[in-house]
Amino acid sequence: MLPDYWRDAKHILRGEGDRCTQCGYVVSPHRKICCRCGGTEFESIRLPKEGTVYSYITNYYSPEGLENPCNAAIVDLGDRKLYGVVAECEPEEIKVGMPVRRVIRKIKKENGYVYYGVRFLPKGVDKEC
């Protein structure tokens, strides 16, 4: 798990993505080949911090370590859709089209390592880490 986390750190912690220089398709986390055109050259870009819920599901029986219930969502950031958890939101409050913002949260501590990841908060919720 740690090598994956290290490899993807700039995408997780700094909110960066990569744009294919041939077709403009945005990927996050980094891939070596563009899934749209097959290009291999990318430029690093900053992903937007705000977006809207595109689709979601509420898990009432989440894996160990995740909160229950857990609102898993696909969030539309414009150029790119990201998968993540919508925190600080009750299951009946989440809706398609709901505005959210991306934040970094501590996910877990395991074997002496602290893992951070992306969480989405409903717009207007000011609670940080």
Chain centroid offset of residue 55 CA:
13
pLDDT of amino acid 129:
40
Per-residue model confidence as pLDDT tens digits over 45-82: 888 889 999 999 999 987 776 778 989 999 998 878 88
* 119 SS3 class: strand
Tokens 């990201």, residue located: 82
Answer whether 45's CB lies under 8 Å from 53's CB.
no
The SS3 call for residue 3 is: helix
Angstrom distance (rounded) from CA 15 to CA 97: 21
Closest C-alpha among 107, 100, 48, 92 to residue 73? 100
Average pLDDT in the chain: 83
12 vs 6: CA distance, rounded Å: 10
